[in-house]
């Protein structure tokens, strides 16, 4: 009976070690995924900011071009 208890005890200890390792690995993967999400949000925000800046530059250029055309039309008449 002692041998049976010892083998069951060893088996349970092995399972507990395995479960702890699985938990550790899962926590690590969860952290990696959280980091990816945070990075994705920052990349998205950066892309939006760049697009807004580009839109402002293009709008300014468009207004400058429009003003130049108005000057040319006035000079021509």
Q: What is the per-residue pLDDT across 14-55, written as a single tens digit (0 to 9) for each?
A: 999 999 999 999 999 999 999 988 899 899 999 999 999 999
Mean pLDDT of 53-66: 96
Between 2 and 51, name the one with better pLDDT: 51
pLDDT, residue 1, reads 46
For residue 10, what are the CA distances in angstroms to 4, 18, 24, 47, 72? 10, 12, 21, 55, 92
pLDDT of residue 77: 62
What is the distance between the alpha carbons of residues 3 and 50, in angstroms, rounded to a whole number?
A: 70
pLDDT at 74: 84
């Amino acid at each position: 009976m002692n041998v049976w208890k010892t083998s069951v005890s060893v088996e349970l200890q092995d399972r507990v070690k395995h479960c702890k390792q699985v938990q550790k690995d899962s926590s690590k993967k969860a952290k990696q995924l959280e980091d990816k999400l945070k990075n994705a949000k920052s990349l998205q925000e950066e892309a939006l900011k760049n697009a807004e800046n580009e839109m402002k530059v293009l709008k300014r250029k468009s207004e400058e071009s429009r003003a130049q055309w108005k000057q040319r039309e006035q000079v021509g008449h």
